[in-house]
Amino acid sequence: MKNSKSKLIENANKKLLAEDYGKNEFVLPSNHKPAMVVPKNGSCCLNCEYWDSNKKECTNELYIKWNGDGKIPMPPDEFCSDWWHPKE
């Protein structure tokens, strides 16, 4: 049985909207995960330009559209999504 965090991630992954990536022209492998748990100190929400450390959520409108809101299911140094962009 999956734990609640991985189930939350799995359910959010099912919401990925192809129209954000060029409609039918954009195809991902069936095992692609647009957001996932990552090792600490790598690319992660904490070092992303879209991370709002005051609100503790992602401000990227495509992540919000995909996920339903800006919340993330893990600590920001342990989670990353396809919409990550380095802080300038």
Q: Is residue 60 part of a domain?
A: yes
Show the domain range for 73: 4-24+33-81
Residue listed under structure tokens 């992954």? 13
Q: How far apart are CA 83 and CA 65, in angstroms?
A: 11
Q: Is residue 63 part of a domain?
A: yes
pLDDT score, position 4: 64
Q: How far apart are CA 48 and CA 14, in angstroms?
A: 23
DSSP state of 86: B
What would you measure as the largest C-alpha separation in the chain, in angstroms?
40
CB 52 within 8 Å of CB 61: no
The count of structural domains within the chain is: 1
Q: Is residue 86 part of a domain?
A: no
Q: How many CB atoms lie within 10 A of CB 88?
A: 4
Is the pTM here over 0.75, yes or no?
Answer: no
Q: Is residue 52 part of a domain?
A: yes
pLDDT tens, N- to C-terminus, the chain (88 residues): 456 656 655 555 555 555 555 555 556 677 888 889 999 988 999 999 999 999 999 999 989 988 999 999 999 999 999 999 999 8
CB 15 within 8 Å of CB 68: yes
